[in-house]
Amino acid sequence: MSSLEQTLSIIKPDAVDRNLSEEIKNEFKNNGFTIKQEKKVHLEKSDAEKFYLVHQSKPFYNDLCDYLSSGPIVVMVLEKENAVIANRELMGATNPSDAKEGTLRKKYGISIDKNSVHGSDSVINAQIEIDFFFKS
Ligand code: IDP
Ligand code: MG
């Protein structure tokens, strides 16, 4: 079964800082995603803490929130059949050194923390994350 879905994608500070935003957006378009909404933002740390609340018990939570709020990010709503899984596949494993050839994290990621892109991990979380950034 396939169904048209939306997912939330973030181009993280390391990739925006290296001027990779257009190249990464083209990766999404070339892989059949439509960019339905897009904005560039620089989060406050308190916003990053809310966004990553699910990770609050992890040892890397503070560094993760410092990092996500360290510079501008590009936030997008991507649409495609089975967009959530399709985007996770295109992104590759969390640690770029484990990511498969051709995936975004393999191509662009620097390290497990500076791994260039975020993607929602479920349809439910995609809606929560889309609302977080785009609900007026
Ligand atoms: P995901 O981004 O592949 O969904 P998550 O487990 O949800 O991975 O972790 C969120 C983010 O936290 C990752 O993208 C990565 O930047 C960071 N992260 C995950 N695990 C570690 C770790 O062990 N050390 C440092 N940062 C980590
Ligand atoms: Mg995750």
Q: What is the pLDDT along the chain (136 residues), one digit of tens a residue?
A: 779 999 999 999 999 999 999 999 999 999 999 999 999 999 999 999 999 999 999 999 999 999 999 999 999 999 999 999 999 999 999 999 999 999 999 999 999 999 999 999 999 999 999 999 999 7
Q: pTM of the predicted model, to two decimals?
A: 0.97
* Ligand 1 probe mutation, 12, 56, 60, most atoms within 8 A of CB: 60
Cα-Cα-Cα-Cα dihedral of 33, 71, 22, 104, to 10°?
-60
The residue whose C-alpha atom lies closest to atom 8 belonging to ligand 1 is 94
Q: How many angstroms is it from 21 CA to the middle of ligand 2?
A: 20
- CATH number at 4-134: 3.30.70.141
Distance CA 115, CA 108 (A): 7
Q: How many angstroms is it from 119 CA to the middle of ligand 1?
A: 11
For residue 6, give Cα distances in angstroms to 32, 45, 57. Answer: 12, 26, 28
Domain boundaries, the chain: 4-134
* Ligand 1 probe mutation, 12, 58, 64, most atoms within 8 A of CB: 64
